[in-house]
């Protein structure tokens, strides 16, 4: 067994996962541990993770980052949700907002009253009652109001940022706090004979770097967790068969909106992520239904301006590493598993893994209970996201071979249960306290034409005319307040202006 204290942490990989881990451990454990990060500038990073969910703000806040400095350094814009185009049916557009539909009206969800009024003839879309949807469709932005009674307090926000610049920003932060960086290639991993723990990594310079805890942030290759420790991989490709992507940035031809865009295409979907200095674009596709050349041509034909770099091709398989913590190694980032970026969750999953690692930080006794608990928590995190992603593919009326197969596929029991409850009378269950809360599920259900046959009978207790008046008032108030906000692009420019 190793020495009884974890004094040295060795991180392999300097992508988003590696530098987020280094920064967070340096902040949390400071001088108690020595942190060494090894990355290979020859190998490079994936670097296309640019869209986030609101949890990233808690991560940045924990590090004590200043929002304006962070946004300036990473060319960031704000994000109020994701616009899904053509997902339910060709021609559709709906937004998954970071915020509620309507204000809190008491015992039952706002959407139950909307379902009731809709059954009685109301034609207004539920989107008209969501402040972040109305604001983002107008291309406006403001920080949420701190007054909990205000309509403009009913939302949250995230960022789009340049992942390479974010890693560089966190690198500066981590190095200022003592993290030691080495640019070299890991050529070998040496295991101890007695217990199979990692003893040291061997660099191509000949140096051997030993440590107590090793964090594998080496990306898809899983250099430590898979190649050395053989943790195994559970594939979810039967549910999420997209296995490739091609990405290319370009200049924007329209003002940056606070929205990621996802457009369904014949063999997958395309993303559009507006940053300050460019737009990130990509096509996530299933190689059984389109060739790499066709996918690249499709992406290039959709760009709003000339590509700023050669298209980048990536391969992956949806799923998770069977053990994300094995012996004295913890996998964080792409080395731990992959779910396509349909709901921008990978950076969140990095953040979650870091949080769980810090709260279960090993004391050197290597009690297997820590490993078991970390693996349980991460399995849960991934499963919650997985089901939500599958819903987007299942609930579609799009034509075409790829989409027919998605509609007909068997789905996990946990998702079938959720769908059945919603279709009955609009109840939303969050599987084991899932990451995505009620508004997220509602947005996809309603946006993709999953409609309950009934509604909660408690709504029928309210007088119809008063409810209709209240709804009209809410709709008008949201629209009026949204229209009074500043355009998103000038809001960002003002925030990021120096001095």
- Determine the interface stretch with ligand FAD among 15-23, 102-110, 129-137, 428-436 (rule: CB under 6 A): 15-23
Closest CA to 355 of 116, 74, 27, 105: 27
Nearest distance, CB of residue 101 and ligand FAD, angstroms:
24
344 touches ligand FAD (CB under 6 A): yes
268 touches ligand FAD (CB under 6 A): no
As beta bridge partners, residue 275 has none
Hey, what are 291's tokens?
Answer: 């060739």
Per the annotation, does 15 bind a ligand?
Answer: yes
432 tagged catalytic: no
Instruction: Name which of 379 and 423 has its Cβ closer to ligand FAD.
Output: 379
Phi, then psi, of 326 in degrees rounded to 5: -135, 125
User: Who contacts 153 (Cβ-Cβ below 8 Å, separation ≥6)?
Assistant: 144, 145, 146, 147
Give me the 127-166 binding string for ligand FAD, x by CB under 6 A, dash otherwise. ------------------------------------x---
User: Who contacts 267 (Cβ-Cβ below 8 Å, separation ≥6)?
Assistant: 285, 286, 289, 290, 295, 402
Residue 152 contacts residue 142 (beta carbons within 8 Å) = yes
Instruction: Name which of 152 and 350 has its Cβ closer to ligand FAD.
Output: 350
48 touches ligand FAD (CB under 6 A): yes
Instruction: Name which of 303 and 478 has its Cβ closer to ligand FAD.
Output: 303
Residue 253 contacts residue 75 (beta carbons within 8 Å) = no
Instruction: Name which of 316 and 445 has its Cβ closer to ligand FAD.
Output: 316
18 touches ligand FAD (CB under 6 A): yes
Taking the CA of residue 33 as centre, how many other CA atoms within 13 Å lie in the half-sphere pointing to its CB? Answer: 28
Distance CA 459, CA 108 (A): 8
282 touches ligand FAD (CB under 6 A): yes
Nearest distance, CB of residue 342 and ligand FAD, angstroms:
9
Hey, what are 416's tokens?
Answer: 């079938």
The DSSP code for 268 is E
- Residue 352 burial (CB < 10 Å; 0-12/13-18/19+)? buried
200 touches ligand FAD (CB under 6 A): no
Distance CA 451, CA 115 (A): 9
| The only residue of 6, 23, 35, 38 in contact with ligand FAD, by rule CB under 6 A | 38
Binding residues for 7-chloro-L-tryptophan: 79
Binding residues: 14-17, 79, 186, 334, 343, 347
Judged by the rule CB under 6 A, the positions of this chain that interact with ligand FAD are 12-18, 38-40, 43-52, 163, 185-186, 217-219, 221, 223, 245, 247, 282, 314, 316, 333-335, 341, 344, 346-347, 350
Q: Tell me which residues are annotated as active site.
A: 79
């Amino acid at each position: 067994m190793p020495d009884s204290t974890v004094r040295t942490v060795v991180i392999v990989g300097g992508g988003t996962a590696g530098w987020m881990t280094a920064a967070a451990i340096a902040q949390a454990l400071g001088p108690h541990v020595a942190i060494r990060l090894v990355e290979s500038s020859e190998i490079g990073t994936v670097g296309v993770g640019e869209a986030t969910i609101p949890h990233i703000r808690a991560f940045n806040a924990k590090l004590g980052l200043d929002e304006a400095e962070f946004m300036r350094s990473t060319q960031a814009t704000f994000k109020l949700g994701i616009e899904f185009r053509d997902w339910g049916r060709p021609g559709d557009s709906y937004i998954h907002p970071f915020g509620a539909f309507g204000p809190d009206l008491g015992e039952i969800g706002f959407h139950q009253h909307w379902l009731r009024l809709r059954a009685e003839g109301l034609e207004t879309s539920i989107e008209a009652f969501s402040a972040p949807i109305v604001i983002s469709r107008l291309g406006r932005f403001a920080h949420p109001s701190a007054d909990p009674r205000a309509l403009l307090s009913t939302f949250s926000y995230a960022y789009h940022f340049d992942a390479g610049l974010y890693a560089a920003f966190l690198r500066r932060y981590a190095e200022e706090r003592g993290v030691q960086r080495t640019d070299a290639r890991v050529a070998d991993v040496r295991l101890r004979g007695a217990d199979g723990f990692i003893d040291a990594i061997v660099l191509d310079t000949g140096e051997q770097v030993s440590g107590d805890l090793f964090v594998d942030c080496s990306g898809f290759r899983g250099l430590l967790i898979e190649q050395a420790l053989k943790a195994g991989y559970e594939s979810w490709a039967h549910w999420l068969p997209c296995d490739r992507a091609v990405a290319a940035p370009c200049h924007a031809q329209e003002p940056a909106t606070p929205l990621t865009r996802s457009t369904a295409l014949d063999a997958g979907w395309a993303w559009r992520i507006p940053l300050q200095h460019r737009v990130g674009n990509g096509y996530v596709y299933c190689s059984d239904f389109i060739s790499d050349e066709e996918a690249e041509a499709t992406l290039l034909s959709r760009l709003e301006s000339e590509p700023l770099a050669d298209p980048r091709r990536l391969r992956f398989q949806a799923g998770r590493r069977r053990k994300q913590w094995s012996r004295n190694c913890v996998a964080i980032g792409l080395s731990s598993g992959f779910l396509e970026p349909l709901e921008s969750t990978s950076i969140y999953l990095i953040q979650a893994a870091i949080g769980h690692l810090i709260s279960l930080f090993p004391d050197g006794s290597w009690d297997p209970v820590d490993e078991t608990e970390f693996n349980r928590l991460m399995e849960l995190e991934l499963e919650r996201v997985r089901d939500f992603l599958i819903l987007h593919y299942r609930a579609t009326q799009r034509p075409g071979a790829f989409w027919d197969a998605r509609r007909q596929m068997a789905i996990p029991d946990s998702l079938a249960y959720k769908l059945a409850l919603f279709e009955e009378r609009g109840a939303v269950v969050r599987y084991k306290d899932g990451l995505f809360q009620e508004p997220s599920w509602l947005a996809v259900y309603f946006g993709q034409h999953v409609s309950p046959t009934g509604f909660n009978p408690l709504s029928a207790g309210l007088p119809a005319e008063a409810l209709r008046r209240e709804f009209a008032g809410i709709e008008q108030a949201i629209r009026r307040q949204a229209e009074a906000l500043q355009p998103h692009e000038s809001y960002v420019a003002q925030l990021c202006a120096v001095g």
